[in-house]
A and B are shown apart, each in its own frame.
Chain A
């Protein structure tokens, strides 16, 4: 197992290096010279570009990047988006807001998704199941920003139950902050609840019709006992990694939802880092490295999680 994990981490680092190198080359190929501005001394801008090494050969810039950022872990200073500020510091300052809203969303949507899914499976082909399935189709099909505007309009504007925007400040665990996040949690959560409901219902329905459950019932177990002890546990094998992958993916943030509800998180940063001329290289590369690592790391964790849920699954076993 340990050998397997080490091998996977080694491979992950190789893939990471390849991806980040490709990102580096591609971002450097984007237009980097700012447009001529009337009355501006463009030579001054050129001097800055020269000092930053933008005019050096690409390979030399790449070596500097690897040495300074990948090995030295110094991701530099923002030159376009947050001029003069350490990109890592800005990123870390924004990360908690993103994590917070997404953790709340998971806490809200996972139990609901599971409950609705189980209920629909148990009530298969009844009006309750049809109602849940129809609602699931609606919520899965409609993008989250549509809910966001609807939630904002009805709950924040018309009913005035919640503030329009997330509360300012860094007291993330206060009640006021939580309340201010409810509209965003609902908007983000509807889709997840629907997705999880659909998946749970499908998996559980399949397991509930298995022969081993019939055997369990004939042995004298109650319906509740067979469902909880046998059916649910077995159906969790594919569902749990799905929850885990969503949980790991949440830190990438949601650009649109964060924008709509004034959540000062990391969601919009990636797109913005490419929207300037020249791109904000340091920010883009930090974000690329971070998300690549998260993506690759989550792959390993999800694979390992199969073994934890179902002991029959053995990772790296040659037998």
Chain B
């Protein structure tokens, strides 16, 4: 009996030990992605976010767009697929014909769609998923989108992102008028003409000629004209201000009067072109009912978007990869209006944030830490929209760590999963198996001011025997280009960057429908080879069998030729009386500040490089540099306003999928670094469908934008009217690429804007994580958090790091 009792007791004890361990919950497996940033997000409201960090650190994870980029089936390129939407947008233009939406009766094509000739406006129906929810489980409907878009465009809020609905490719009908209703704004001639629907400046002057004229003296002239004294004052403040002239008088002043005389860098046509963007009048935007805005909800899942400009195919879907949805109730709670100023704190703290994306915010401390966890109410997790292994990350912790040295130590201690390599790290980690290089979409350049009058004025200010006008000699600028070792420049300033030889880098997409990268096209390759003078060396049996071989051989550095060009430039300058033999060339280089390592190292490199490069030439000892490191935000316009003679490290980013639109920065005085190149008079010959036409660079760009322009047949002299918009017409994509290549070549040939280096970065990947693809696939990168997988759970990782003594080796 005793034995039995003992056995029973032992069995009970064993069960008592075993049962709880069987019933106990499995420890939750966590996969935490640890990241650090040196600048922290402060506002991730879809209406107000301003920096890329605001997006990448928070907004991208707590929101869901209608469409999104994903890998294609082969995993070697991209596609755009529906996310919050179901299927592709449906063209419902026929249902919205009428004056209300400015859609006239149209002639339908075989599919029942309106033809291009009759109307450009389109109405699209986007069908939404019926399981869209906020993180608290409240359903999201099409009505929420309508409310949000109206709030975004609320004129009293002046939301930073409001123009997302009317600038660029996607122009929602009446969005701009709605956003500006009830306000009076300084409106440029070009915009005013659009608002009044007039075709010419003369017609506009007829209507508003007697109203007050406005302009920005600093921007337009860098100087102010005293109308009483009839003299220039030599100083100007930024900002559009009222002038004592009527709008009509101001236009005359600018084009043919004293203002016009001041603008030596443009002819009459050019001045008139500049005036369109630089002269202003007050326009009072009328009140508008919300129903007039081109967005409507037909039902909970049917959203209608009416667009003013033609948009279809890739660009239509691409426009809907950004999103502007807010939770109306929370948004209104976060708003306040004081003294006529409306402010809203939506998306700035944990309390003012609500997610409808794959993750939700659970902790936020300003300038310290962000913690996001999986949002279980997001439809994509259950539906496995991106595959079984997607979103393995259960938690994302982002810390603010300002010092790179600290970030590296934290990374080596296993506390961070990626580390962006810095210049000083490259010696140790550039060849590490864990180092991943990523190409960016920007090209940074060296830009010169070749405007004779401006240089003469600056030369006088610089003092006796100082020369700047040699910059007008093309051979000098060529020498500057050829005499710079771009690879060494990159090593000295930002070693992850790569030398660049053209305006656009490798990430620019020429035909997004087919994922054709511009630099991979024959036209773009030929442009580079032609510009660098290798055309005759390419072909079978020649130095370079293929264009790619020729491009691979480029360094952009030819010291011998640079020395010849320096000598030639000197001779030309002496012969033309630009320079005396005892003159010293002094180039004033502008930088935004005196603290940036990039600009400090870059400036030092340039000075040393050219001092060496002119040795043995007629300019030996005669080429000097000076620096203005106080330009701050005026850095970009410093060349345009003749404050400096040269800039470096400048360029344009964005518009990766629209290099045609982006080309405006090279032909528009509003954006050009060097506005003395008058693109309205610079003629460019381009072969289209085997016929060579000539037109100004500006007109070619307008033709790419879809506007009809006059082209002159080079052979017959006949003038035709043509446009080359983005449409599905046979051969149009090829024509557009040809034109773009020719325009790129035209800009390069000026040697005003000299490509220096392409933007690239390098980062160490931690042993804890794996990327989806080893190669960078634009725009998916290597899959990001969406596709990231883990080699260790958090607990395993801690043990692994401990096993290795707390410091991991990534060399």
A residues adjacent to B (C-beta < 8 A): 31-36, 38-41, 43-48, 50-53, 55, 64, 68, 74, 77, 81-86, 90, 93-94, 149, 152-153, 156-158, 160, 164-166, 168-170, 259-260, 262, 264, 268, 277
B297 CB within 8 Å of chain A: no
Query: Which residue from B156, B338, B366, B413 sits with its C-beta under 8 Å from A82?
Result: B366
B240 CB within 8 Å of chain A: yes
Flag the segment in B227-235, B497-505, B521-529, B632-640 that touches A. B632-640
A152 in contact with B406 given A31-B238, A157-B412 (CB within 8 Å): yes
B806 CB within 8 Å of chain A: yes
Query: Which residue from A52, A160, A164 sits with its C-beta under 8 Å from B341?
Result: A52
Chain A residues positioned under 8 Å from B635 (CB to CB):
35
Flag the segment in B181-189, B248-256, B487-495 that touches A. B181-189
**Do A260 and B664 have beta carbons less than 8 Å apart?**
no
A165 in contact with B345 given A38-B664, A39-B168, A262-B368 (CB within 8 Å): no
**Do A165 and B670 have beta carbons less than 8 Å apart?**
no
| Residue of A whose beta carbon sits closest to that of B54 | A83
Give, as a whole number of angstroms, the nearest-CB distance from B5 to chain A.
Answer: 49
**Do B365 and A264 have beta carbons less than 8 Å apart?**
yes
How many residues in B have their beta carbons less than 8 Å from beta carbons of A? Answer: 72
Give, as a whole number of angstroms, the nearest-CB distance from A49 to chain B.
Answer: 9
Give, as a whole number of angstroms, the nearest-CB distance from A301 to chain B.
Answer: 30
In the assembled complex, 30 residue pairs joining A and B whose CB atoms fall closer than 8 Å, in A order, are: A31-B238, A34-B633, A35-B635, A35-B637, A38-B664, A39-B168, A43-B185, A47-B183, A47-B185, A50-B183, A51-B158, A55-B239, A74-B338, A81-B42, A82-B348, A84-B43, A84-B334, A85-B345, A86-B345, A94-B367, A149-B405, A157-B413, A164-B413, A165-B401, A169-B365, A262-B368, A262-B399, A262-B401, A264-B366, A268-B367
Q: A40-B163, A94-B367, A165-B401 are in contact. List 15 more A-B contacts (CB 8 A).
A: A34-B633, A38-B671, A39-B654, A43-B187, A46-B240, A48-B160, A51-B342, A52-B341, A84-B334, A85-B43, A85-B348, A152-B406, A153-B409, A168-B399, A277-B633
B340 CB within 8 Å of chain A: yes
Main secondary structure of the interface of B (DSSP, over half): loop
B48 CB within 8 Å of chain A: yes
**Do A31 and B632 have beta carbons less than 8 Å apart?**
yes
Query: In the complex, A164→B45 CA distance in Å?
Result: 31
Give, as a whole number of angstroms, the nearest-CB distance from B750 to chain A.
Answer: 20
B179 CB within 8 Å of chain A: yes
Query: In the complex, A164→B406 CA distance in Å?
Result: 7
Query: Which residue from A45, A84, A152 sits with its C-beta under 8 Å from B344?
Result: A84
Contact with A along B170-200 (1 / 0, CB 8 A): 0000001001100101110001000000000
**Do A83 and B662 have beta carbons less than 8 Å apart?**
no
Give, as a whole number of angstroms, the nearest-CB distance from B344 to chain A.
Answer: 5
| Residue of B whose beta carbon sits closest to that of A169 | B365
Interface residues of B in 620-650 (CB under 8 A from A): 632-637
Give, as a whole number of angstroms, the nearest-CB distance from B489 to chain A.
Answer: 25
A168 in contact with B187 given A39-B168, A157-B807 (CB within 8 Å): no
**Do B634 and A31 have beta carbons less than 8 Å apart?**
yes
B residues adjacent to A (C-beta < 8 A): 42-43, 45, 48, 50, 155-156, 158, 160, 162-163, 166-168, 176, 179-180, 183, 185-187, 191, 238-240, 334, 338-346, 348-349, 363, 365-369, 399-403, 405-406, 409-410, 412-413, 415, 632-637, 652, 654-655, 661-662, 664-665, 670-671, 806-807
Query: In the complex, A189→B652 CA distance in Å?
Result: 46
**Do B406 and A165 have beta carbons less than 8 Å apart?**
yes
| Residue of A whose beta carbon sits closest to that of B658 | A39
Query: In the complex, A9→B588 CA distance in Å?
Result: 51
Query: In the complex, A82→B45 CA distance in Å?
Result: 12
Query: Which residue from A39, A84, A158, A166 sits with its C-beta under 8 Å from B48?
Result: A84
Query: In the complex, A170→B167 CA distance in Å?
Result: 42
Chain A residues positioned under 8 Å from B185 (CB to CB):
43, 46-47
Query: Which residue from B160, B186, B365, B655 sits with its C-beta under 8 Å from A38?
Result: B655
Query: Which residue from B339, B348, B363, B633 sits with its C-beta under 8 Å from A83?
Result: B348
Give, as a whole number of angstroms, the nearest-CB distance from A29 to chain B.
Answer: 10
Chain B residues positioned under 8 Å from A34 (CB to CB):
633
Chain B residues positioned under 8 Å from A153 (CB to CB):
409
Q: Which of A34, A74, A264 has the most CB of B within 10 A?
A: A264
Give, as a whole number of angstroms, the nearest-CB distance from B639 to chain A.
Answer: 13
| Residue of A whose beta carbon sits closest to that of B161 | A44
Chain B residues positioned under 8 Å from A157 (CB to CB):
409, 412-413, 807
**Do B341 and A84 have beta carbons less than 8 Å apart?**
no
**Do A164 and B158 have beta carbons less than 8 Å apart?**
no
